């Protein structure tokens, strides 16, 4: 009996030693070594915390999609300038159509007192303006508005309206007149669903390179 017990013990030791030399079997009972690094967290287990943007990442300009609108860019004085600008727009995925034409563009507002009967009468009005604190004026000496009193040219409608109201409050009857100019040259017509259709930096670069051009929204028909 003693020898039987000793034999079983030796057999168990042999089996144990042999098992230690064998590769671990694959299956449901396989052991998985712990991964190094941060602990994996399931999406459902994550806390409700807002996502943070990298500090050095630039925020893209806001673009609004409101349906296709049509635009004209120009005028370009040379064929080469229009072609280079066309290549720039093509790089942004915009197909253009070149045309030659003239556009009537609002440049600002002229505020003035209509022509008076004589230059002496115009001088009397300017003396009154000066006494009331109005210093920017000029008597028109030639042309169809001879003896009118120019009170300033304003690019902003609001600025022109404010000055017009100030002169009217003095008991005078000024006129606020829109001023236009004709721009002739080559134009690039294109359409885009984006508002704005071009990044501001692109428009600024084109205006610096081809002075005098502008982008205008136009009728798509």
- pLDDT band (50, 70, 90) for residue 163: very high
Contact 165, 172 (CB under 8 A): no
Tokens read off for 137 = 């004026």
Provide the CB-side half-sphere exposure for 141 (13 A, CA).
Answer: 1
- The reply to whether the predicted model has a pTM over 0.85 is no
What is the reported pLDDT for 221? 77
Residue 179 structure tokens: 């001023």
Radius of gyration of the chain (CA): 41
Q: What are phi and psi of 39, to 5 degrees?
A: -70, 135
Q: Model confidence at 126, in pLDDT bands (50, 70, 90)?
A: very high
Q: Give the highest mean pLDDT range of 116-120, 183-187, 202-206.
A: 116-120
- Please write down the long-range contacts of 77-80, taking CB distance under 8 Å and 24 or more positions apart: 77/185, 77/186, 77/210, 77/212, 78/186, 79/186
Architecture label for domain 107-179:
2-Layer Sandwich (3.30)
* pLDDT, position 66: 52
Average pLDDT rounded to a whole number, residues 82-106: 91
Mean pLDDT of all residues in the chain? 79
> Stretch 135-149: mean pLDDT, rounded?
96
| Inter-CA distances, 135 with 122, 123, 151, 181, 192, Å | 14, 13, 9, 28, 47
Q: Which CATH number fits domain 64-105+182-218: 3.40.50.720, 3.40.1160.10, 3.30.70.240, 3.40.50.2300?
A: 3.30.70.240
Higher pLDDT, 37 or 173: 173
64-105+182-218 with 107-179: one CATH topology?
yes
Q: Where are the domains of the chain?
A: 64-105+182-218, 107-179
10 pLDDT tier (thresholds 50, 70, 90): very low
């Amino acid at each position: 009996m003693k020898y039987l017990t000793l034999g079983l013990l030796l057999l168990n030791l042999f089996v144990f030693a042999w098992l230690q030399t064998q590769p671990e079997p694959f299956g449901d009972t396989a052991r998985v070594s712990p991964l190094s690094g941060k602990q994996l967290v399931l999406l459902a287990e994550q806390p409700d915390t807002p996502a943070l943007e990298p500090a050095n990442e630039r925020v893209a300009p806001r673009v609004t999609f409101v349906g296709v609108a049509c635009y004209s860019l120009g005028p370009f004085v040379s064929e080469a300038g229009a072609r280079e600008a066309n290549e720039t727009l093509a790089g942004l995925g915009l197909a253009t159509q070149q045309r030659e034409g003239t556009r009537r563009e609002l440049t600002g507002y002229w505020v003035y007192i209509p022509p008076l009967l004589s230059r002496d009468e115009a001088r009397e009005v300017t003396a009154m303006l000066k006494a009331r604190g109005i210093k920017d004026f000029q008597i028109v000496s030639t042309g169809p508005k001879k003896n009118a009193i120019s009170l300033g040219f304003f690019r902003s409608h609001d600025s022109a309206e404010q000055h017009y109201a100030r002169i009217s409050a003095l008991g005078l009857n000024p006129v606020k007149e829109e001023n236009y100019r004709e721009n002739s040259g080559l134009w690039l017509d294109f359409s885009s669903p984006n508002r704005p259709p071009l990044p501001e930096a692109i428009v600024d670069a084109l205006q610096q390179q081809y002075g005098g051009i502008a982008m205008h929204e136009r009728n798509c028909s």
